[in-house]
Structure 1
Amino acid sequence: MKNTNDFYKVSLTNTEHRNYLFWSLLVFSFCSFFPVVWLMSDIQNKIVFSGGSSVIANIIAVLIFALYVFMLVFLWKKYRKFKKQGTRNKPSKEIIEGLQYFIEANKLYETKKDSLDRTVIAKSVTLGYAKPNDEVFIIRAYKHADKFDRQLSELDNQLSALTGFPLDNKKDTITYTDYIFRTRKFERIVVECGTANKNESTLIPLNSELNWNVLKQPHMLLAGVTGSGKTTFLNYLIIEIKKMNADVYVCDPKRSDLSSLQHYWGKEYVASDTNNIARLTREVKDIMNNRFTEYKENAENFVYGNSYVDYGLKPVFILFDELGAFRAGADKKIFSETMANLTEIILKGREMGVFAILSTQQPNANNIPTELRDNLSVRLALGNMSNEAYRMVFGETEGLQTISEKGAGYIYLDGLGWEKPKYFEAPYLDYKKINFIEEIKKYN
């Protein structure tokens, strides 16, 4: 939708001037005919009276008339093109009136007094409407370097209320702001018991149309209060990660269900006390650095631009559930060492296939240092969170609505052109039809 002609423009100063243009062009065509005929006759007479050839006079008259006809054809073609542009993607009358109502209700216009001392609209903002397909429509707010520009960049909640749809995405430029709405939600993934399926790609499906590409969007931050569905989503991620034939290391300082995985994977992969958690993060960091030594510093193995996929390395994930509990229980030295290990993994791990998933109820600077958070390409907030918590996860809170569905929230993936997080319903594990432990055993 880069072409401004794809949008039907609406303002309070809209006038249906195309009919006037048609009649004006018709009157011009009719009235200009007689002066042209007179001009042709006058030129013919002058040439003949001056002793010139009548043949030459006729040729000149024909050329003049041909030029006149060409000009009329050109003008009518321009009119037809203009009319076609004006009606292309024209929305329904209700939409046009709704956008005009929106402009008026939000006072996005200026008034003045006319010659009869009546108050009239002097200037109105312009909103564009386009529907590129059956599932998406866009409202574009045009900026004109006036007092309305800032307001036009912050219409998230008002336009959602007007349309009845949550804002799917937003594109803010210096000349316009696009508000993108999706009329159909992405389908939620429901996991039931099934046969083991291997995943040899770098994609982890998140819903019917959205995937987490770990190679391009490494590392995840997951925030969610108790009862938000965070644990179920982590269980889903573990299943999907195991499908990738990946090694999974789990740190669970809360000693909740995830810590019980040590009965199946051993303490080599699962830790719950602070000392062993620090050990696991150190071991994962060493795996990463050893890969760098073998595949980047070794001239025999090194290939410029290659990633872990090209070298045939299996991915390695470290899943850290509840950083806040770890900070509360660990002494300063162990906490600092663990955060340093995680920071190095997050800054360097993508190329060698080492990824981190950090989970917390309180995504504040004490639990997640800023340098960690800013390098997490995938960020999720499940359940209803405070504006401050949303700000810590996404950097903004504008347009985020109340969450009523369990396991739902907001998600942001870096590198997809998103300027704001999107509403998201996390995959659902139907525990009546699936046994989580039996499911992950399939991939051992």
Structure 2
Amino acid sequence: MIEKIIEFITRLPPFGGSKAKLTVDKSQFQIRIKNQIRKRWFLKIWFTVTLILIVISNLRNIFPSLSNIFSGKSIIFDSRFLLISLMGLLFSLFLKGAWKLLHSKYSIIERWKLENLLRNFTEEVNIIAKHDNSFNFTKSVKWSYSVSNQKISINLKTGGHVNFEMEKDIARRLLGFLIKETKDIWILEDNSIINGSIKMIFSHKADERLLIDDLSKLKKSKIVNFPLTKQISWDIKKQPQLGVFGKTASGKTSLIKAIIISFLANNKNNQLLLIDGKASFLAQSGRFAKIPTATTAEECLNLLDDAISIMNQRYSEMNRDLADENDVTYIEKFPDKGTILIVCDELLTLASATQVSDKSKKPADRLMPQISDRILSLIVKSRQASIAILISGQAFPASLLGDSIVRSNLGMIVNLGRTTQVQAQELFSMNLKDLPQADSSNYEGIIWLDGLNWEIPKVFYSPYYDDKKLPFKATLLKLTEAQGGGLPQA
């Protein structure tokens, strides 16, 4: 009983704290029956008390009033308590109606509306159990929730009687229920399941696409950290290596442009290396801006050797003082040096051309295995040296770089356009039906960011790069000239 009272207080602003608690251990049928019983008892008590008060208030008038009958005068009747009781009854009915309204989907108080929605959802999806007209009902679930301007946090403790498959589906079903029952926009930002506790974060504001059209608006910082959408950022400490994939016309090139320009504008000491397996626009842009660029297997191997040399040199510089206890990245230890980004685009195209010529060479002289080994080495080892790798293409190059090792080291994975079942397994290790749905016609995709406790990937709104206001080649040249150009130095 005390626990129920405490829970009730948590749901009463301003008395409750930031997190409200709600235990659902009765079906809607049971609640209706109990409410009907309470109403009958309330009316009986009201009628009895009203009658007693009227009688008591009129006792002193009974005998004088009897004598008035013979004198032709009317009997005196005191109706004050009857009027007070009727007003009290009407006021109680008004409070009950207001309470029900404020705990309905029409409520202006979101926390109170949410209480009613969670009660109804518990019954609709049958979380506690199938029930009948009896009161032999012992199973329960516990909700806790908080509401702010930015997000709605909802936690559900199932009590151990809900199977894991149903637990995994609760967030999706709750999202659909909230959309169905209200007129609000509901976005599932995140959800996770830990020991029978399902944690869900919702918001009413969908993420928005960024417009890259002005260098002065781009974020500046010592360590790479800049937004990709209104709500999602690339933080190199959490996502040191990147993967961007998508079919032709999916928006992949525009995203890569946005990342490159935002990266170079983020810190004047940042440097760029380019590998373009198709020797197309990206390679032309790199050479125009005097950025180290590779389009052939030989050039690619030399560029990667230079990058590994820089990585080793950076590690050597970091480890000069063997007594240094600080476990930090190169850019944290030497903030004026900058980060290096290696963009490897269309590796599969480069591989198909290289493997033809490799067939006529001895195994030790074949170039593609050497290129794959060097890229894999950089992906695995370069994080602490503040060297980031961006792997991009129409498909994940598992045949060149392997699957599990590279996949586990990619802290950010973006798949633009329509996601297939193969891509869902290959990129996100999930079934396609468990992924959110993106609008491929609007250059949307799916994104996974490591280090943010995401349970599932999110819909990604790829930035719009405005080539008219920021011509890519000219902007790239402007940024690299300001940063000295040439091969990055340790």
* TM-score interval for Structure 1 and Structure 2 normalised by the shorter chain: 0.7 to 0.9
Q: Give the alignment partner of residue 419 of structure 2, picking from 385, 404, 417.
A: 385
Identity %: 20
Q: In 2 relative to 1, CA 357–261 (structure 1 residues): closer, same or farther, beyond 3 Å?
A: same
SS in 1 for 2:383: helix
Confirm or deny: 8 A CA contact 2:289 2:477 kept in the other structure.
no
**Letter in structure 2 aligned against 1:137:** I
Q: Report deviation, 1:239.
A: 0.6
Segments of structure 1 that go 5 or more residues without pairing to the other structure are: 28-86
Structure 2 unaligned residues grouped into runs of 5+: 1-16, 46-102, 104-108, 180-185, 359-365, 481-490
Q: CA deviation at 1:124?
A: 5.8
- CA change 1:437–1:340 in 2 (3 A) is same
Call closer, same or farther: CA 1:90–1:197 in 2, change over 3 Å. closer
Partner of 1:38: none
Does residue 1:274 correspond to 2:297, yes or no? yes
- Displacement of 1:357 in angstroms is 0.6
Q: Cα offset for 1:236?
A: 0.8
Q: In structure 2, what is the equivalent of residue 351 of structure 1?
A: 384
| 1:415 paired residue number | 451
Give the 3-state SS of the residue equivalent to 2:156 in structure 1. Answer: strand
The residue that corresponds to 1:48 in the other structure is none
TM-score (norm 2): 0.67
Q: Distance in 1 between matches of 2:430 and 2:383?
A: 26
Distance 1:367 1:182 in 2: 40
Q: How far did 1:98 drift? A: 4.6
Change (3 A) 1:120 1:425: same
Answering whether residue 284 of structure 2 is matched by residue 248 of structure 1, we say no
1:110-189 equivalences under 5 Å are 110-111=129-130, 122=137, 126=141, 128=143, 130-164=145-179, 165-189=186-210
> Paired residue for 1:439?
475
Q: CA deviation at 1:257?
A: 1.0
| Residue aligning to 2:260 | 238
The match for 2:442 is 406
Cα distance change on mapping 1:192 and 1:4 into 2, 3 Å: closer
Aligned partners of 2:324 and 2:115: how far apart in 1?
Answer: 60
Give 1:176 deviation, angstroms.
1.3
Say whether the 8 Å CA contact 2:24–2:122 is kept in structure 1: no
Which residue among 291, 297, 321 is the counterpart of 2:345?
321
1:217 to 214, 239, 261: 239
1:241 CA drift (Å) = 1.9
Whole-Å separation in 2 of the counterparts to 1:148 and 1:121: 22
Change (3 A) 1:112 1:406: closer
Residue type matched to 2:248 in 1? T
CA distance 1:206–1:355, shift in 2 (3 Å): same
1:291 aligns with 2:314: yes
The question of whether the paired residues in 1 share the 8 Å contact of 2:289 and 2:476 is answered with no
How big is each residue's C-alpha offset from its partner over 1:322-373, in whole Å with a ceiling of 9 and x where there is no partner? 2332332332632221221122212221221111011122226325422111
Partner AA of 2:337 in structure 1: L
Please state how far the C-alpha of 1:276 moved relative to its aligned partner: 1.4
| 1:207 and 2:222 matched | no
Q: Secondary structure of 1:371's match?
A: helix
One-letter amino acid of the counterpart of residue 264, structure 2: K
Contact 1:246 1:315 in 2 (8 A): yes
Check conservation: 1:11, 1:103, Cα contact below 8 A. no
Query: Deviation at 1:264?
Result: 1.6
Could you say what the CA RMSD is over the residues aligned between the two structures, in angstroms? 3.4
Task: Tell me, in whole angstroms, the C-alpha distance in 2 between the residues paired with 1:341 and 1:323.
Answer: 13
Counterpart mapping for 1:359-370 below 5 A = 359-363=392-396, 365-369=398-402, 370=404
What is the alpha-carbon distance in structure 2 between the residues aligned to residue 161 and residue 208 of structure 1?
24
In structure 2, do the counterparts of structure 1 residues 257 and 133 end up closer, same or farther at CA, with 3 Å as the change threshold?
Answer: same
How many residue pairs end up in the alignment? 372
Determine if contact 2:447/2:457 at 8 Å carries over to the other structure: yes
Counterpart CA distance in 2 for 1:122 and 1:228 is 53
Rounded Cα–Cα distance in structure 2 between residues aligned with 1:290 and 1:215: 20
Question: In structure 1, the residue corresponding to 2:398 is in which secondary structure?
Answer: coil
Partner SS state of residue 303, structure 2: helix
